[in-house]
Amino acid sequence: MSHDSPAPRPGPSSQGTARRAGPLKGTCRVPGDKSISHRALMFGGIAGGTTTVSGLLEGEDVLGTAAAMRALGARVERSQGGLWTVEGVGAARLREPEDVVDLGNSGTGARLFAGLLAGQPFTTILTGDASLRKRPMARVTDPLSSMGARFEGRSGGRLPMAIVGTGTPEAIHYRLPVASAQVKSAVMLCGLAAEGVTTVEEPEPTRDHTENMLRHFGATVVVADNGAGGRIVTLEGRPALTGGHITVPADPSSAAFPLVAAALVEGSEVRLTDIGRNPLRTGLMTTLQEMGADLGIENERIDGGEPIADIVVRHSALKGVEVPPERAPSMIDEYPVLMVAAALAEGKTVMRGLGELRVKESDRLQVMADGLAAAGVEIETGEDWMVVHGGGGKGPAGGVTVATHLDHRIAMSFLVLGLVSENPMTVDDVAPVATSFPVFEDLMGGLGADIDFGGDAR
């Protein structure tokens, strides 16, 4: 058994370039779902007994979570066949880490660990890379502080941050000011150590992997409508969590890149297998279907409490649509690549309710606006909205290098654009792609895409 085997990654600040080639053809499985992979390792680590995980995403973010759980006392190992085993210690027996816990680029990891560690009777210091240290943590630390934890960080509540946990957190009823699965999950993870019922009310439904997996491990979680379009999630504190097996479906956020590429590149037909079809994660597919994309959903099934299916996508002419703002939580990570699809649609695509994009790995709304405009796409943008005027099937001029700001989804989105632009598209740094999609270059190349990591446009 070994700890982990990260996929090879490009060197520091390696450029990547994509250019037009033939149609995309073939069948592939993108890496495992990042959200579920994080939670499988964390929940397995605080459960009693053994948890086995198949299909785990072996990107840098998730490997960082594995390392953090080891630092907290769990035994986390990977076998040669790719099966991961977690020997849990029980939530009450996590140990104080001997060193600073470095979560790299993982905003999900930082926020989930903030919740988990807030309920522990010791102090932990969290840090991350330059991008993560810029991201706001106050929306997580505010409710956790009301549960009894203390936080000492840099100005604006940024990492590095000391989390002074409380072994006896107070169960609270918390209304999320902005829909966020990460904040909801952080409060619930702290609530695991509380006596009594912790309640989180969200204004719009957000991805519910935490609720599904906690039930899978034996917790009592009840979800009800709040009568105003949102949900009320209640968790009974101090459950006896028991390890089991988790099958991680293919990540729909990663699948978005070959999916959109196949829809845009003429003559393409691609089958994406085992895609997670959680109804709170399907906003991109719904939007693409409204735009006229030729998508087939086959072999639908349930595995480990999560719906999955195979997706067949063929090239099709897209038309601009207006994306309702209430759909944003179900596709927040997919907006960058949707903007690429909109660049080739006929007419304009209007996207509103995008404020959350400004606090991701980068200010994704601004970075996408800058890059699209540089590539020759006509756009309009505001504080939380964007309008993309499409080329009616004709790709933009391209031929530019885009600054990714250490953001994996920005890098992959503009590489997809390079497959249909008149001139190659280059991104300044593909190294962050390893955080969520370490096999992106090889997988896309296997389908016929001309994507080169480490080269310049030529």
Assigned token pair, 69:
């759980």
3-state SS, one letter per residue, for 102-160:
ECCCCHHHHHHHHHHHHCCCCEEEEECCCCHHHCCCHHHHHHHHHCCCEEEEECCCEEE
Same domain, 253 and 173: no
Residue 458 in any domain: the answer is: no
Is 5 within the bounds of a domain? no
180 inside domain: yes
pLDDT for 184:
98
Q: Are residues 267 and 358 in the same domain?
A: yes
Residues 213 and 237 in one domain: yes
Q: Which residue has the higher pLDDT, 397 or 362?
A: 397
Whether 4 shows a pLDDT value over 60: the answer reads no
pLDDT for 457 equals: 39
Q: How confident is the model at residue 91 (pLDDT cuts 50, 70, 90)?
A: low
Q: Are residues 305 and 236 in the same domain?
A: no
- Report which residue type is found at 108: T
Over 70: is that where the pLDDT of 3 sits? Answer: no
pLDDT in tens, 228-278: 999 999 999 999 999 999 999 999 999 999 999 999 999 999 999 999 999
The answer to the question of residue 236 being in a domain is yes
Whether 100 shows a pLDDT value over 50: the answer reads: yes
pLDDT band at 166 (very low <50, low <70, confident <90, very high): very high
Percent of the chain with pLDDT strictly greater than 70: 96
Q: How confident is the model at residue 2 (pLDDT cuts 50, 70, 90)?
A: very low
Please state, in angstroms and rounded to a whole number, the distance separating the CA atoms of residues 26 and 447.
6
**Are 227 and 303 found together in one domain?**
no
Residue the block writes with tokens 């009450």: 92
Query: Is residue 434 over pLDDT 60?
Result: yes
- pLDDT at position 285 over 80: yes
Tell me the per-residue pLDDT of 308-324, one tens digit each, with 9 for 90 and over. 999 999 999 999 999 99
DSSP string, 162-212: EEE--SSPBP-EEE-SS--HHHHHHHHHHHTTSBSEEEEEESS----HHHH
**Using N-to-C axis directions, what is the helix angle for 34-46 and 181-191, rounded to 10°?**
10
Quickly state the pLDDT bin for 92 (edges 50, 70, 90): low
Residues 287 and 225 in one domain: no
7 falls in which pLDDT band (50, 70, 90)? very low
Indicate the pLDDT class of residue 304, thresholds 50, 70 and 90: low
Mean pLDDT, residues 437-448 taken together: 97
pLDDT number for residue 456: 43
Same-domain status, 227 and 307: no
- Tell me: do 296 and 388 sit in the same domain: yes
Per the structure, the count of domains in the chain is: 2
Last residue of a domain, one of 183, 215, 247: 247
Q: Give a yes or no: residue 7 inside a domain.
A: no
Of the three residues 185, 217, 247, the one that is the final residue of a domain is 247
Residue 94, in any domain of the structure: yes
pLDDT tens-digit series, residues 396-414: 999 999 999 999 999 999 9
pTM, whole model, 2 decimals? 0.86
Q: What is the CATH classification number for the domain harbouring 338?
A: 3.65.10.10
Is the CB of residue 96 less than 8 Å from the CB of residue 71? no
Q: Is 154 part of a structural domain of the chain?
A: yes
Greatest Cα pair distance, the chain, in angstroms, is 63
Domain, as residue range, for 239:
34-247
288 shares its domain with 225? no
4 belongs to a structural domain:
no
pLDDT (mean) for 78-86:
94
pLDDT at 55 over 50: yes
Tell me which amino acid residue 286 is: T
| Average pLDDT across the chain, whole number | 94
Same domain, 220 and 134: yes
As annotated, the active-site residues are: 333
pLDDT of residue 362: 86
Pair (297, 228) in one structural domain: no
The amino acid present at 32, given as its one-letter code, is: G
Bridge partners for 379 per DSSP: 388
Q: Last residue of a domain, which of 247, 276, 297? A: 247
pLDDT at position 38 is 97
Residues 268 and 239 grouped into a single domain: no
Has residue 81 got a pLDDT over 50?
Answer: yes
C-beta of residue 133 within 8 angstroms of C-beta of residue 158: yes
